[in-house]
A = this chain, B = another copy of it.
Amino acid sequence: MSDAAPFLIPRGFRFGAAVAGIKASGRPDFSLIAADAPASAAAAFTANRVIAAPLIVDKENLRASGGKVRVVAINAGNANCAAGQAGLDAARATCTAASKVFACAPEEVFPSSTGVIGVPLPAGKLAAAMPGLAARLGRERDHFLEVAAAILTTDTVKKTAYARLEGQGAGEIRIAGLGKGSGMIHPQLVPHATMLVYVLTDAAIEPADLKAFLDPAIEMSFNRISVDGDTSTNDTVLLLASGASGIRVARGDRRFQDALMQVCASLARQIVADGEGVSHVVELRIAGARSDADALRVAKAIAHSPLVKTAWAGCDPNWGRLAAAIGYSGAEIDPERIDIRFGDLPICRHGGRAAGYDEAAAHAYLNQDEFSISIDLHQGQGSCVFWTTDLTAEYIHINADYST
């Protein structure tokens, strides 16, 4: 859907990015998304108990504003996490600065930060850059893409997704999402990254209904991916509805839910594909688990196993490592009932090497940029689909020299 739809930006929003001097590289590191009027907002944040200051402020603000957002202010290069009272002060100073520039209440501002943890955020740099940036925001796709670029850290590509729904009359509803995330990617958002995702729509939706749309979409997208198993302190997904299409969407609308789901799934897969040092994207299809929760346990044990992930980096069909990870996942299993396939290739049957096992074919299959591994536990009806990556020497190089 995101491929077929034209890249139409939801109405009611303006976008832009600037150099505030947070990133040492001197690249754009400060973005604004401004709603023409207070937009309905629904958000989900990391389950990590160490929570970055902007997330604490975001939660307070959403409560105080009744789920309304006028301005999203995003900086890259500094996560504003583990910085104590100074961090909270910095996040609130950003809200105050934005409230003056945009003539709104401070609690209608939604600050986000991503980057290094434990270094105080120089909020003054954001405040200084804000008036100039605010004066040149725009509504076009190029402006939207400015933000998609400026929020990146170790990402190598921009991540965007689009959907469009024809209205019953002449109108249409537009949805557009942008996100970042490459390492420290194992989002566990509550009801469930540093993954930052902003999804915008011009549908008219009440905040409570917006949340009802967002939660299931997150569960089947961002909560089903992992690059390195590290759950960030800053993961945030924000969904804003401006209502500028003039089309009202009621709770439970199937078409809107599906379109939102597809935008989220597309962004989730783009984040995995751009994972730090990734050379293979892996789809895990777990079936026959005692429960969906057990299926997810198996998927996560595999997705977080350094031995499995390094084998993938080498296109090594060492399925014994998969069996070992299944075994310690905590899921209810019977080792002698485990079946494993690489794509359509039989690999493991009844817990042992499959009769038709062909090592050369298995190796060739794994020597693709993307591949799929199916596991049937033959324990019940539980299942899940999960996206993850290999673990390469490049990941080590990227992360062994990040903050210095």
Task: List A residues at the B interface (Cβ < 8 Å).
Answer: 47-51, 79, 81-84, 86-87, 116-120, 183-184, 188, 228-233, 304-307, 310-311, 313-314, 316-321, 323-328, 333, 335-336, 338, 348, 350-353, 359, 363, 391-393, 395-397, 399-404
Nearest-neighbour CB distance to chain B for A395, whole angstroms, equals 7
A120 to B306: give the CA distance in the assembly, Å: 24
B-side contacts of A318, CB under 8 Å = 116-118, 402-404
Name the 6 nearest CB pairs between A and B, nearest first.
Answer: A117-B320, A50-B327, A314-B400, A84-B352, A310-B399, A118-B320
Measured in the bound complex, the distance between the Cα atoms of B228 and A402 in whole Å is 21
The smallest C-beta distance from A257 to any residue of chain B, in angstroms, reads 29
Oligomer copy total: 2
Task: Indicate which residue in B81, B230, B325, B404 contacts A325 across the interface (CB closer than 8 Å).
Answer: B230
> How far does the alpha carbon of A314 sit from the alpha carbon of B402 in the complex, in Å?
9
Q: Give the complex CA separation of A54 and B397 in angstroms.
A: 39
Say what secondary structure dominates the interface of chain A: loop
Is there an interface contact between B118 and A82, defined as CB atoms closer than 8 Å?
no
Cα(A45)–Cα(B163), bound, Å:
53
Q: A228-B306, A230-B305, A231-B328 are in contact. List 8 more A-B contacts (CB 8 A).
A: A48-B327, A82-B335, A83-B353, A120-B353, A230-B325, A311-B402, A314-B402, A393-B393
Shortest distance from the beta carbon of A350 to any chain B beta carbon, whole Å: 6
Most interface-central of A49, A83, A228, A324 (chain B CB within 10 A): A324
Contact B324 A84 (CB under 8 A): no
Give me 9 A-to-B residue pairs in the complex whose CB atoms sit less than 8 angstroms apart, sorted by A's number: A82-B351, A118-B323, A118-B352, A120-B353, A184-B321, A230-B325, A233-B324, A310-B396, A316-B402
A318 to B403, CA, bound (A): 6
**Chain B residue with the shortest CB-CB distance to A350:** B84
Given the contacts A233-B323, A306-B230, A351-B84, A393 and B397 also touching, CB distance less than 8 Å: yes
Cross-chain contact B392 with A188 (CB below 8 angstroms) = no
Which residues does chain B contribute within 8 Å of A363, judged by CB atoms?
A: 404
**B229 A306 Cβ-Cβ under 8 A:** yes
Q: How far is the CB of A72 from chain B (nearest CB, A)?
A: 23
Given A84-B352, A87-B352, decide whether A396 and B399 contact each other with a Cβ distance below 8 A: no
- Least Cβ–Cβ distance between A332 and chain B, in angstroms: 8
Contacts of A333 in B (CB 8 A): 49-50
For the complex, what is the distance from the CA of A4 to the CA of B322, rounded to whole Å? Answer: 43
Using CB atoms, name the residue of chain B closest to A184: B307
Residue among A47, A183, A323, A326 having the largest count of chain B Cβ atoms under 10 Å: A323
Whether the pair B328, A81 counts as a contact (CB closer than 8 A) is: no
**B400/A316 in contact, CB under 8 A:** yes
Q: How near does chain B come to A195, taking the closest CB pair, in angstroms?
A: 13
Give chain B residues whose Cβ lies under 8 Å from the Cβ of A48: 324, 327-328
Chain B residues with Cβ below 8 Å from A320 are 79, 81-82, 116-119, 233, 403
